[in-house]
Amino acid sequence: MARSRAPAVTRPELAGLAERVSTWQLQHGRHDLPWQGTRDPYRIWLSEIMLQQTQAATVIPWYQRFLRRFPDLATLASASLDEVLTLWAGLGYYARARHLHQCAQIVYTRYAGRFPQTAAELARLPGIGPSTAAAIAALSHGERTPILDGNVRRVFMRLEALDADPAAASTLRALWALAQRIIEAAPASLDMTAYTQGLMDLGATVCTRHRPDCARCPLAGDCLAHRQGLQNALPRPRKRRDRPLRQSTVLILQHEDHVLLTRRPARGIWGGLWSLPEFADAPALQDYCLHHAQAGQPARALATFEHDFTHFRLQIHPWYQPVEGRRPGPAAEQAWVSLPALARHGLPAPIARLLAGLQAGAGACALPSAGPARQ
C-alpha cells in the first residue's frame, strides 16, 4: 500500500474544499436533527456532549427528554446531580453527565450564565475537549476554527490516504494542521456553520467506517484513498485487544416494596449512579445476609448475565434476599427505595433491567433463578 506523508494543503484542489463541503451540506446534508436550526450555545453544547462517542439516532430521545426537564442553563445548573444522572441513565459514559452538571454550574456562576464564545475559552470548561469546543464555537458564533471528531478524522485520513494509527499523537497533530490550513485557505465568506456541520454529516452518513458511499461524496475527486481504491482499507482498523472478563456479585435486598440501593463511587463504572450493593464474591454476600439482613430464608442465586463495556465484559452474579421484620438502617451512601420510586433514581441499564420484574409488581418470582443457593 502506498503510504502518505503527513497531510498538508499542498494540493491546489484542497484550497476550495471548505466551500464544497459547505455547499454540499446546504443541499444534501442533515437538516432534521432536533439540535439544528439554532444558535443557542446551551442547546448546541448539550447535543455535542451527548454526541461524544454516541450516534445521533441514540442521542435524540435523551436530548429531547433533557430539554423538557432542563430547558435552559439556569434550570440545569440548579438541579441536583441525582436528577441529571437519572435522566442520563442508559446513555452510558457517565462522566459526561457529571461534567455536564459541573460545567453548567461554572458557566452560570462564573460567566453569568453565558457560554464563552471562543473555542479556546470553551475548552477550559469540564467535559469540553478541543473538537467539541470548536464545534460549539463554530455552530453558535461562526468562529473559524477546525473540528476533528472521530468521523472527521476518518474523512481527512481518506482524503490524504494516510496509512497511520488514527489515535497516534503524530497523526492527530498532522490532521489538526490539515484542518486548520483548509479553513485558512477558504474565503472570508465561508459559512462556518454549514462547513462544520457538513464535515460531521459526511463522516456520519457518507464517508462511513464501512462501505463509504463515494458516489455521493463531494470530495471524491480530491480523495487520494478513492483514487487509489483504498477507501475501504483506510483508516486501518486498530488491532482489537481481548477484552478481559470482570466479575460482579450484587444483592437485591427487598423489604416489602422497598429495595436497598447503594450510590456508586464517582470514579469507575457507573460513576455516581445508584446500584445494588456489591460484594467481592458469593460467600461475602451470604455472610452479609446472615449477619445484617434479618433474613428469614437463605439468599437465592439468580441467573448470571453479562454486560458489555468498551474495554471489558462484566459478568454479573445477582442474588435475591427478602428481609423479614423491621428493615435494617441503611449505611452511608445507601437508601431504601420504594419500587415506584426506582424510576427517579439513576440506575445502570443492566441493573434497571434486573429490577424490572420487581417494578412490575411481580415480586421475586419474576427474577430468573440460577438454582438453589450454595451454602
Beta strands in the chain (DSSP E): 245-255, 258-263, 274-275, 278-279, 300-301, 305-308, 313-322, 334-338
Looking up cell 433463578 gives 369
User: Catalytic residue among 13, 19, 48, 278, which?
Assistant: 48
Measured CA to CA in angstroms, residue 163 lies from 7, 160, 230, 238 at distances of 11, 9, 10, 12
Q: Rounded to 10 degrees, what is the CA torsion of 334, 126, 168, 213? A: 90
Measured CA to CA in angstroms, residue 73 lies from 76, 77, 126, 223, 227 at distances of 5, 6, 15, 41, 47
Angle, alpha carbons 22-28-34 (nearest 5°): 90
- Kindly give the pairing relationship between strand 278-279 and strand 274-275: unpaired
Nearest to 198 by CA among 235, 252, 147, 232: 147
- Kindly give the pairing relationship between strand 313-322 and strand 278-279: unpaired
Burial (Cβ within 10 Å: 0-12, 13-18, ≥19) of residue 266: exposed
Length of the chain: 375
Residues 99 and 60: their CA atoms lie apart, in Å, by 20
Nearest to 233 by CA among 345, 297, 158, 334: 158
Q: Is residue 160 flagged as an active site residue?
A: no
> Which amino acid is residue 316, in one-letter code?
I
Residues 231 and 308: their CA atoms lie apart, in Å, by 30
Residues with catalytic annotation? 48
